[in-house]
Homo-oligomer: A and B are copies of this chain.
Amino acid sequence: MSKQFVKKITSMEEDFAQWYTDVVTKAKLIDYSSVRGSMIIRPYGYEIWENIKSELDTKIKETGHENVYMPLFIPESLLQKEKDHIEGFAPEVAWVTHGGQEELQERLCVRPTSEVIFAEHYKNIIHSYRDLPKLYNQWSNVVRWEKTTRPFLRTLEFLWQEGHTCHETETEAINEAEKMLTIYSSICTELLAIPVIKGEKTEKEKFAGAKITYTVESLMHDGKALQTATSHFLGDGFAKAFGIEFLDRNGKQQSVHQTSWGFTTRVIGAMIMVHGDNRGLVIPPKVAPTQVVIIPIAQHKEGVLDQAYSLEKRLSKQVRINIDASDKQPGWKFNEYEMQGVPIRLEIGPKDIAADQVVLVRRDTGEKLTISLNDVESKTLEILSTIQDNLYMKASKRMAEKTTSVTNMQGFQEALQIESRLVKAMWCGNTSCEDLIKEKTGATSRCIPYEQESISDKCVYCGRKADKMVYWAKAY
């Protein structure tokens, strides 16, 4: 029945980019505006972000961090204090030059990230080891002047949290950066059912101003990789540039050791491209704004709507549930909620009522189950949990299938000839090899994973001694 109503979305295989655009707009996650490269996050999209945010905020607080709010604008002179940082960010910031009718004496940049403004504040409030650690976080918007944009993945403005911490020792700061990476990883895997690879960025790919950038990388449906979240050990670069010093336990003046880490709305793009299919969005139950939708069948018949509403009432204590009792055709509704990626659809009509049952349809597999009305609470919860697990398993399986180990450049190029993939290869550590690999294959180094394997002992590019296994891929 449902086929006749299918909304036209481009298939993934035909044009993945167009499929993505179709899904984000038709599932009503976003709308465009007259502001180039910015997006309107619509209620359905924003609720996904709220669900992610609530879980992440809890974990951030449980680990002893405190939320603050820093100014949006950064004076140009402040941004310039840390050299690597300004070099990295200058090309992509928006500049405010006028306030009201007046031209400003000094330009203000709209924050692309807030290391420098935190640094300035830390200098004011940190004096002794007793003031450490300082574990701050903020939820905010940031702006990066991107040329090519795509909803969620790369936009002029995005929402995120940015953590900024100060520590007595380097070891403590490194532990903090790694701890936050673990939290990011668990949000990806446990909440969003996105398998990730944890590791470090190469020198070339790390954050402007960081000593080490830790990353969680994930693989999209089309075989391209996405940097899903990063955490940085900043060392004492900002501390030295801004004079963030403290009297240590031995009465000696020292610079603090810092970290910063961020998790953004970009992850919603990852969720779409990891789980979606040709019928639209597939949302993992744990973050789904609507986990269950009830569609009454032959709703004009006596008793159907009453039963449907009473079912909604029963389930609403346990799950985020909606009922669509509009006068649209059931087939239209099926497609609509499939497009929106609602994990479970419950159909209830006169026959079901007579038999004391409902029909449950899984979004992830399309499977139809008939469930006794008595068991509906427990079964629904059980299946939501099954869907969550299944999505993670499917994505993990795909990631494994789309990963190839190579030992030479011929193998590297062949691996990427037909489709994008994740490539494992050894690397000598030289940026020049990294550059040339990119030139030859379009793939960039995604990360040096924590879980190392020895594929060979030679760099895939130059053949020199290599003891680092690196993941490579074309990336968003």
Interface residues of A in 8-52 (CB under 8 A from B): 31, 33-35, 38-43, 46-47, 49-50
**A71 to B43 CA separation, bound complex (whole angstroms):** 14
Known: A96-B95, A100-B91. A46 touches B67 (CB 8 A): yes
Number of residues from A at the complex interface, CB < 8 A:
53
Contacts of A70 in B (CB 8 A): 33, 40
Asked if A93 CB lies within 8 Å of chain B CBs, one says yes
Complex CA gap A46/B61 in Å reads 13
Do the beta carbons of A42 and B68 come within 8 Å of each other? Answer: yes
Binds B, one of A139-147, A201-209, A439-447: A139-147
Q: Mark A61-88, 1 if CB is under 8 A from B, else 0.
A: 0000011111111110010000000000
**Assuming A67-B46, A120-B34, is B97 touching A98 (CB within 8 A)?**
yes
Is A117 at the interface (CB under 8 A from chain B)?
A: yes
A43 to B66 CA separation, bound complex (whole angstroms) = 6
- Residues of B with C-beta under 8 A to A96: 94-97, 110
A120: B residues at CB distance < 8 A: 33-34
Which B residues touch A69, using CB under 8 A? 40-41, 46, 49, 159
A72 touches B31 (CB 8 A): no
Contact across chains for A121 and B31 when beta carbons are under 8 A apart = yes
CB distance from A456 to the nearest CB of B (A): 42
- Which one of B99, B124, B140 lies within 8 Å of A94 (CB-CB)? B99
| B121 in contact with A71 (CB, 8 Å) | no
The answer to the question of A125 belonging to the interface, with a C-beta cut-off of 8 Å to chain B, is yes
Residue of B nearest to A98 (CB): B95
Alpha-carbon distance between A121 and B42 when the two chains are bound, in angstroms = 10
Are B73 and A121 touching (Cβ within 8 A)?
Answer: no
Given known A-B contacts A70-B40, A71-B40, A157-B71, A125 and B31 have beta carbons under 8 A apart: yes
8 further interface pairs, Cβ-Cβ under 8 Å (given A31-B121, A41-B68, A69-B159): A35-B73, A40-B117, A40-B121, A72-B110, A73-B143, A73-B157, A97-B97, A99-B145
